[in-house]
Structure 1
């Protein structure tokens, strides 16, 4: 969130409020990689004011050259996407006045991205050239054309952006490995978009790289798995100051994205543990076939928090003795449920301020704590095969400890 908010605020600071609409998750990787190589200095963070997308809370956000490079890249690529939609006459852009306005906005973003890139020593022309070549490549592609021919412009653009983070961080020796990671990331992003959009493109009669080149989903999955492996190996050659977040996003989360796009299990731990059970990671039970007990035969052999909701009479293992008002004592009194109209009003407020999506919030009617809708699976936070929760070792020299953490075959992570 620090990098996502930093990208958003860098766009606003350099290019005005309207530019913030190009904020995207892929772009923040540029900021993450820059900081992972240079380290988190005090001046690399600042406190941002309340924002509806953070539930009107302040936050420590990233600032500096990494965030500004992410902003420049995001602007140029968003400009290219707008031009592509105009060319395809998508939706409202089929109307000439709206298309003309969109082209004007795209030209402005191109110039703004070029200015910011030049101030950071990055020539955005490589991005523009890659995007311009994409349309011609798609026109010539047909059945039998290798799909990697179609993904090449995206790979080239992403490689350039990733490699320049090494210059910003003062580690030019990292540039070749980061360019390689960028190429694989661009390939993966392009393929995943194609897989996710293939059905909708077929209905709409839109161009899709997999359909146009006759690439099967099996081959697309193989290419995605190769890209994941390539990213992991490339990051292993990068000298990081702190590789934790970069490793988490570019190894763990990317694998989850691939599994989700292809409709396979998103948690490598449970998928591996389910071998011999017909591939079902849960074997027909909500908690892995443990008879409905979420703790099963775990390290404590029972509910680790005892029998009562807050630890029971004697408390669970490692828990302090219970008592009235103390930790593990009686649960706090529940506030009464809201009425229908009051709950509707609260629900509208939560929705309009994005708290339902982005922050832990109180249920509009029940008043119970609810997790944000956008929470992702945290199944790879700990390594069940070695018992370690240390993922900070990440990929690459200088990435920090990893003490007590084995090579994790169950999730493919050398954490």
Structure 2
């Protein structure tokens, strides 16, 4: 699993969380049915936003079905989004972006990818995923070029001396904008396309910046490339860019013509804001910098063990992906947190924390919620 939108059942109303899980499981099953079991490894939180946006614009375009018991759901059945156009586009986007991410690791020789056999195998898998995603995208009338060239353009920009930060985020912004914009075509609402592309650009910028912030300390220690370090951008300036993107995202979401708005608002407005707060709280704690208006970051849990790296780390990461986060290795801080602490660090005692953006109370407040 990767992505910045990571809601949990205690930070979202029960009905909305079930809808989100329907898209997540639908994406996983679409990848399995169309591209094989190994493709399920690219299931990610942000990719399913494509499916969510398609259904929000035209619910009839995303029929649901009852799925059989699955080990990743604790051997329980579930309501899932059927492999319609929206979830198939989400699968295609996930495959292409995951392929690009793997190719980038191979080219940079990151971690285990520095080993020739691992790099060769990963390169072949990435090529296969890219071809499969491009084939599905073409069948849906989507031009995958912005996604395919994003990694190449990113590599070119990273070789420039003294690049501007927003120039470095531009390829990611263009890729996400293209994917989000095409959901308007699938839903039969072309008038939404401009706003969706704007949402994609802001969301792509946030995803790129938060990834850079999360990796900043590790990249500095390893001497690896990081957009913030390369552009001379500090955490305060990076936070300002993120806050600007969040503001633009809220305004663009408000412009959309949607038949179902609640889940889109919960994910693209509420959860992205939580992601920004969470990421910068951790980064400020790691760097020793303080920000007056940022949430107080808790001290590091002494139970968290250091990441050993190498094959063991890779195997544990694969196990975490295959179990949708049910298994977490000893070096994952979330392993020792309650579900409420993973949401925003405050738990779920206050109804105002749990139900922000909803029309009523939610399950963690011992109330009911139909939103």
**Contact kept in structure 2, 1:185 and 1:231, CA below 8 Å:** yes
Correspondence list, 1:217-366, <5 A: 217-263=235-281, 357=326
Asked if 1:210 is matched to 2:179, the reply is: no
User: How far apart are 1:13 and its partner, in Å?
Assistant: 1.0
Q: Aligned-residue CA RMSD in angstroms?
A: 3.1
* Corresponding residue of 1:196: 214
1:24 maps onto 2:44 in alignment: yes
Secondary structure in 2 matching 1:25:
coil
Task: Quote how far apart the aligned CAs of 1:91 are.
Answer: 2.3
TM-superposed deviation, 1:389: 5.7
Distance 1:117 1:352, change over 3 A: closer
Cα deviation, residue 130, structure 1: 1.9
Q: Which has the higher contact order (CA 8 A, sep 6+)?
A: 2
Give the match for residue 138 of structure 2: 118
Residue pair 1:30, 1:165 contacting (<8 A) in 2 also: yes
> Aligned pair in 2 of structure 1 residues 234, 355: CA closer, same or farther (>3 Å)?
closer
- Mark the CA change 1:11 to 1:354 in structure 2 (over 3 Å): closer, same or farther: closer
Contact 2:51–2:89 at 8 Å: present in 1 too? yes
Contact kept, 8 Å, 1:381 with 1:391, in 2: the verdict is: no
Question: How big is the shift at 1:376?
Answer: 2.5
Give 5+ residue unaligned stretches, structure 1: 265-277, 283-350, 359-369, 393-401, 404-414
Tell me if structure 2 keeps the 8 A contact 1:55–1:353. no
Question: What is the SS of the residue equivalent to 2:326?
Answer: helix
The answer as to 2:22 corresponding to 1:55 is no
- Contact 1:55/1:354 (CA < 8 Å) preserved in 2? no
CA distance in 1, matches of 2:114, 2:125: 16
Question: In structure 2, do the counterparts of structure 1 residues 21 and 141 end up closer, same or farther at CA, with 3 Å as the change threshold?
Answer: farther
Map 1:136-147 to 2 at 5 A. 136-142=156-162, 145-147=163-165
| Cα distance in 2, alignment partners of residues 211 and 373 from structure 1 | 33
Q: Distance in 2 between matches of 1:104 and 1:356?
A: 26
TM-score computed with the length of structure 2 as normaliser: 0.73
For structure 2, list consecutive stretches of 5 or more residues without a partner in the other structure: 1-20, 283-291, 297-319, 328-336, 361-370
Matched position secondary structure for 1:140: coil
- Structure with the greater alpha carbon radius of gyration: 1
SS in 2 for 1:252: helix
Q: Which residue of 2 aligns with 1:79?
A: 99
**Residue aligned with 1:258, SS:** helix
Moved more, 70-79 or 125-134: 125-134
User: d(CA) in 1 for partners of 2:294 and 2:231?
Assistant: 33
1:281–1:237 distance in 2 versus 1, CA, 3 Å: closer
Q: State the secondary structure of the residue aligned to 2:77.
A: strand
Q: What's 2:194 paired with? A: 176
Q: Note if contact 1:75-1:112 (Cα within 8 Å) is conserved in structure 2.
A: yes
Spell out, residue by residue over 1:27-84, the C-alpha distance to the aligned partner (whole angstroms, 9 max, x if none): 011111111111267x611111112221111100112111100000000001101111
Structure-1 separation of matches of 2:276 and 2:211: 10
Q: What displacement does 1:207 show?
A: 0.4
For the structure 1 residues 355 and 149, does the alpha-carbon distance in structure 2 shift closer, same or farther, using more than 3 Å as the test? closer
User: Which structure is higher in helix share?
Assistant: 2
For residue 121 of structure 1, give the secondary structure of its aligned residue in structure 2.
coil
Q: Is the 8 A contact 1:32 1:246 kept in 2?
A: yes
TM-aligned CA deviation for residue 87 of structure 1: 0.5
Mapped to 2, the partners of 1:352 and 1:203 lie a distance apart of: 26
Which of 81, 92, 103 is the equivalent residue of 2:123?
103
